[in-house]
Amino acid sequence: MKKLTIVFLNSEGGKHSWVPQTAAEDLTKEEVRKAAEDLIALNLFERNSIALYQQVNSAKYVETIETPLF
């Protein structure tokens, strides 16, 4: 299973990750960047007066391999 992880810089320069619950596994970097920039434009997320999504830092797919034990 692959999950999309997008890392943003907050208003103080710290990193904050966002992992959407569902995301296609074949998105282009342009599609991901556009979606990330659209999220930034909403300016919705803040914690302790720090805006969490201010600049896109990176994006990647993280693949998890599950090995059932029983």
Segment 13-56, tens digit of pLDDT: 999 999 998 888 999 999 999 999 999 999 888 888 888 899 99
39 domain-assigned: yes
**Cα 6 to Cα 11, 22, 36, distances in angstroms:** 16, 13, 8
Instruction: For residue 68, tell me if it sits in a domain.
Output: no
pTM for this structure? 0.80
Banded pLDDT at 7 (limits 50, 70, 90): very high
Q: Classify residue 29: in a domain, yes or no.
A: yes
User: Residue length, the chain?
Assistant: 70
- The answer to whether residue 69 is domain-embedded is no
Q: Render the burial of 30-45: b for 16+ CB within 10 Å, e for the rest.
A: eebeebbeebbeeeeb
* Residue 14 belongs to some domain of the structure: yes
Q: What's the domain count of the chain?
A: 1
Does any domain span residue 31? Answer: yes
Domain membership of residue 24 as a residue range: 2-63
